[in-house]
Amino acid sequence: SFTVGRARPEDTRLVATAEEALEAGIAAAVVGNRIGDIAHAVGRVCRRAGYGIPDGFGGHGIGRTMHEDPGVPNEGRPGRGMPLRHGMVLAIEPMLIGGGGDDHCTARDGWTVRTVDGSRAAHAEHTVAVTDDGPRILTAP
């Protein structure tokens, strides 16, 4: 996410928190951890900052088709879920709602998603390989 025009401080903070949550999720993407460790790391950053997390959105496995298993939620319990192994490739995608609530809705077009309270939202994403040497960001510039 990025702002267009003159950014309000609260918008800058929202985007920065999405990026911080992404960094926390990537740091948890290590061999021996579990999907829940990534989810917990992302969610902890978002909630501590007072932001909402839209249910049903998050990261996923990367392979031969779009949005493969395993799902990588943006909130979860540490130590739960699929174990992370060397060679796994995951999209980690924090999504935050600025108003603090989790409610969102999909427009009639079936694609556009909006916050119910009208607050702004932010999203950050990287594709990460889980390796024996630690997480490797595959989408870094």
Q: DSSP per residue over 22-74, as a string?
A: HHHHHHT--TT-BHHHHHHHHHHHHHHTT-B--TT-EEEE-SSSTTEEEEEES
Q: What does the mean pLDDT of the chain come to?
A: 95
Mean pLDDT of 110-121: 92
Question: Is residue 4 very low, low, confident or very high in pLDDT (cuts 50, 70, 90)?
Answer: confident
Tell whether the model's pLDDT for residue 61 goes beyond 90: yes
Give the pLDDT mean for 44-58: 95
Question: How much is the pLDDT for 100?
Answer: 85
What domains can you pick out in the chain, each with its CATH number? 9-137 (3.90.230.10)
Structure tokens at 124: 């950050």
Q: Kindly report the CA angle at 66 between 65 and 70, in degrees rounded to 5?
A: 90
- The token duo for 130 is 């889980």
Residue 32 confidence class, pLDDT cut points 50, 70, 90: very high
What is the pLDDT confidence band of residue 136, given thresholds at 50, 70 and 90? very high
108: left (phi over 0), alpha (psi -120 to 50) or beta: alpha
pLDDT tens readout for residues 64-106: 988 899 999 999 999 999 999 999 999 999 999 998 889 999 9
Mean pLDDT of the 104-123 span? 93
Whole-number pLDDT of residue 3: 87
Predicted local confidence at residue 132, as pLDDT: 98
- Do the Cβ atoms of 100 and 52 come closer than 8 Å? yes
For range 121-132, the mean pLDDT = 97
